[in-house]
Amino acid sequence: MHIKYFSWVRDQIGVESENITLSNEITSVNDLLNYLKNKSEKHNKALSDISVIRCAVNMEVVNLDFSIDDNDEIALFPPMTGG
């Protein structure tokens, strides 16, 4: 699975993107966030407040209970501020 990070989420984690292989236990965005939080101190800090994390799966914004699989492109970012 390819994961992209934007804005301060990327700044805090320290990488623009990474590839991970999902274990069978990870089936939703929420599962993925919990997995990532345990990956490193930086991930844990960046993703500590889920209320300010938004997720897109294959470029569509989704809720945290959305199902994911290994072929998906996931993006994690703060609330958007366009215009």
Partner 1 sequence: MIKVQENDFDVNLEIKKITSQNKNIGGVGLFIGIVRDDYDKKLKSMTLEHYPIMTEKMLEKINLEAKNRWKLIDSIIIHRYGKLYPGDQIVLVATFSQHRKDALEACEFLIDWLKTKAPFWKLEATNTGNKWVKEKNSDLEAVKKW
Q: Which segments of the chain are extended strands (E)? A: 2-5, 17-19, 54-57, 60-62, 73-77
Q: Is 78 in the site for partner 1 (CB under 8 A)?
A: yes
Least distance between partner 1 and beta carbon 5 (Å): 10
Distances in Å between the alpha carbon of 72 and those of 12, 20, 29, 66? 23, 11, 11, 12
Least distance between partner 1 and beta carbon 46 (Å): 12
- Nearer residue to partner 1 within complex by CB, 34 or 54: 54
Q: Is 63 in the site for partner 1 (CB under 8 A)?
A: no
